[in-house]
Amino acid sequence: MNKAITDGLVLMPPAFADGLAVWSSEDGTPGGVTYDAIGTAAVVTGDADFGGTLELLKTDSIQKLRYTGETPILPGCYLRVTARVKAVSGPLPSVRIAGWAGQSGGAHASGLTETGASTTLTAYGEVVEVSAIVGSGPRTGVDFIWGSPAIYGHFGIDLTGPTGGIVRVDDLEIEDVTSVFHRTMMDWVDVRDYGAIGDGTTDNTAAFQAANTAASGRGILVPEGVYQLDQSVTLEYPARFAGTVTMPSDETLILRRNFDLPTYAAAFGDEELGFRKAMRALMVFSDHESFDLGGRRVEVTGPIDMAEACGQTSYEIRRVVRNGQFNVVPGSAWDTDVQTGTASYDAGSPKELTNVTNIANIAVGSLVEGTGVGREVYVTDTNIGAGTITLSQPLHSAPASQTYTFSRFRYVLDFSGFSKLSKFTLTDVEIHCQGVASGILLAPAGETFHLKDCFVTKPKNRGVTSHGDGCQDLQIDRCHFVSDEQSLAATARVSLGFNVNANDAKIRDSRFQRFGTTMVLYGNGHLIVGNHWFQGDNVTDGPRVAGLVFTYPNVKSVVTGNYIDNSFIEWTNEHDAAPDYSSEYSFGGLTVTGNIFTVNDAASWFSWLVVKPFGSGHFIQGLSVTGNTFKSLNGTTDRVEKVDNSIADLVFGSMRNVVFDGNTFNGIGQVTQNPVTVQFDQASVATDWQIGIGGWLPFGGKAREVTSIVTEGAITNGSAATVFALPFVTTEAGADQDEVTLTWPEAVKGRVHVTARVDKPV
């Protein structure tokens, strides 16, 4: 800062050669005696040291020389007063800088230091320089601390000591030296003071590093301009960017004290680029575990390749991005890339396509479609030289050769460039896809990717996609997924909330709004707890589609405390290259408890739990459906569960460990119960009593076992005599094997309560 430059402030007194009328022999105040009226002072020209100079005979013990002009004293401004003096003849005096402090109205501001250190002249002709600094703050090096009420001063010198000597005085200098105090007066340093040039081409790496070293706890200012950094730079202290920086994509700017998007956006002049550079800093530097978006909305013009931005291909240390929004800007960068190619498939290599044509144009992360391809099968890897594609899941009944379609959706945050990524978290972040982009593509490998308190709004195709095993232990907590297809009929929607290819997903307390399908889960060990997903539409008596799809038969999973609205749970084995049963675990390990199931304006044949085998020989070997509420509005639902046998049926004779109990049913045509206790009245005597069980049993299965027979009242024969004998039981009776026969020793009649099961408990 220099007031003479910035404010045009006139500080320098006139030269002595311009006349002595402005130079006082007293304090410099108006009315005092000036040297133009005293015969002991004269202007001398041609001095070898000074040129034009004032020659003065010392006649007083303190010979004063003061400029009569009022030099302003401004808050925060520091002035240096300098005089050069030499003795010519006579006794040698001492010299010091001196002044007179004035306040408003012209009064003297008393009590202030008005004289500087004194220097004795020791030889004739020797030039001695004396100076003093005057300013408003008590800083080291300030001689005259003139704060309020002083607002101006009359400055000059004092000659002290013996009289009779003659001295010559060079023109007095008064200059602004506030910049000397910048390093201690201001709470920042300016990178320009260390050589930075904001021309967009000069490498300023060394200047930024020097400014960082000099800051020593203070902030760092990057003023207007464009500052090129050819190498990575770490700023240890808070940085403020009035200008911007540029640097190669593989170099890193680390802002330790303000590690947030507002600062990075200011640094690079663009929010999207700032986010990319911040991600690199987050991954290569260990001092921060999280990056704060600062509540900012990032306008995203194209997919963000997170691996490229981070400069990493594998990362397994916890990192968090929080508190902001990614808002998609529509454009061609979001267009889905659709490719086709013929390929061969052999179930012996269940996750591989071979002899793939057009493979060079097929991108990793593409959705695969074709005959025998289950839902959410993706390209995990390609080998162009070998002509092979690695798939995320096997195909269930693909022909030996066919043409496949490969659709590469465009994701706002694309992690597919990582070979492995673990422990990455997004919290309090919204990804607003605007109906033209998809949300997140996970890495092909890794675990514990976590979405917490996030929104995925209006994805075009997918909310979160796993094209490999990067979804191991996926966690989605308190999130909100909103479809862009809400006005469409349920059967016309193509969007998906998310999919899982690995084990142990935790989906908790989240809301999913009108997707084509909410979730497709392969693997086991999943916890689906406390969520609400709904997929209804405005079609009267319209069909409903699956909301939760399990594609692994023995799921070992829990669906608890959810609100399952206008959609159903579908349980398949479509990701099995050999879908026929072959001594492996069949459908089982599923607990459905404490949920709210509702549907409205749906076709009567709708059911909330649908088992769909993609091969023959399968059965259920462990299913518990307890404590749920089923409710149908504006119509009646035939039953809550069924088998989709469009490909294959269940083998009901192998069912075991199936429990339907403690559920409530509203608007349901047939209640489901297992085990079920039915009351049967035989009105006329008969030896064989045929008791129908089937309607009650899950999936319309066989009456395989009777666990109890309790008579109510007497069992009597044709003579009205009480019969105390027990009958024997024949299970799986009737044409549909859904009846049991009680055979008595003689013809009898009466009432019994029979408890039967669709399975054999183990």
Using alpha carbons only, how large is the chain's radius of gyration in Å?
45
Amino acid at position 80, single letter: R
Task: Give the tens place of pLDDT for each residue, 289-301.
Answer: 999 999 999 999 9
Q: In the chain, pLDDT over 90 holds for what percent of residues? A: 90
User: Shortest CA distance to 298 belongs to which of 272, 331, 329, 262?
Assistant: 272
DSSP 694: G
Q: What's the rounded mean pLDDT across residues 651-664?
A: 96
Task: Give the tens place of pLDDT for each residue, 522-571.
Answer: 999 999 999 999 999 998 888 999 999 999 999 999 999 999 999 999 99
Question: What is the torsional sign of CA 368, 371, 376, 377?
Answer: negative
Rounded Cα–Cα distance for residues 122 and 133 (Å): 24
Indicate the CATH number for domain 337-408. Answer: 2.40.30
Q: What is the pLDDT of residue 577?
A: 97
Q: What is the pLDDT of residue 139?
A: 73
pLDDT of residue 143 exceeding 70: yes
Indicate the CATH number for domain 3-182. Answer: 2.60.120.260
Contact of 540 with 510, CB cutoff 8 Å: no
Q: What is the pLDDT of residue 8?
A: 57
pLDDT of residue 181 exceeding 80: no
Q: What is the pLDDT of residue 183?
A: 53
Q: What's the rounded mean pLDDT across residues 139-153?
A: 89
Full DSSP string of 265-284: HHHHT-HHHHHHHHHHHHHH
Q: Please give, one letter per residue, the 3-state secondary structure of 667-707.
A: CECCCCCECEEEEEEEEEEEEEEEEECHHHCHHHCCCCEEE
Rounded Cα–Cα distance for residues 592 and 627 (Å): 8
Q: Could you tell me how many helices (H) and strands (E) the chain has, helices first? A: 6, 65
DSSP 172: P
User: Shortest CA distance to 612 belongs to which of 638, 584, 648, 583?
Assistant: 648
Order of strands across the sheet with 379-383? 367-369, 401-408, 337-345, 352-354, 388-391, 379-383
Task: Give the tens place of pLDDT for each residue, 333-343.
Answer: 999 999 999 99
Tell me the β-bridge partners of 248.
Answer: none
Instruction: Kindly report the number of other CB atoms within 10 A of residue 122's CB atom.
Output: 10
DSSP 674: B
Task: Give the tens place of pLDDT for each residue, 52-89.
Answer: 999 999 999 999 999 999 999 987 788 999 999 999 99
- For the question of whether the overall pTM of this predicted structure is more than 0.85, the answer is no
pLDDT of residue 761 exceeding 90: no
User: Shortest CA distance to 163 belongs to which of 23, 33, 65, 56?
Assistant: 56
pLDDT of residue 206 exceeding 70: yes
Domain boundaries, the chain: 3-182, 187-289, 337-408, 483-666, 676-757
Helix (H) or strand (E) holding 13, with range, is none
Strands (E), 25-91: 41-47, 51-57, 63-67, 71-72, 78-89
Q: What is the pLDDT of residue 186?
A: 63
User: Shortest CA distance to 58 belongs to which of 170, 169, 162?
Assistant: 162
Query: Tokens for 636?
Result: 């009646």
Tell me which residue has tokens 């084509």: 516
Rounded Cα–Cα distance for residues 232 and 244 (Å): 15
pLDDT of residue 722 exceeding 90: yes
Q: What is the pLDDT of residue 56?
A: 96
Contact of 494 with 486, CB cutoff 8 Å: no
Residue 85 CB partners (closer than 8 Å, separation 6+): 95, 121, 127, 128, 129, 130, 157, 167, 168, 169, 170
Query: Tokens for 264?
Result: 């990075």
DSSP three-state, residue 96: strand
Task: Give the tens place of pLDDT for each residue, 430-480.
Answer: 999 999 999 999 999 999 999 999 999 999 999 999 999 999 999 999 999
Tell me the β-bridge partners of 56.
Answer: 41, 167
Pairing type for strands 352-354 and 337-345 reads antiparallel
Rounded Cα–Cα distance for residues 103 and 101 (Å): 7
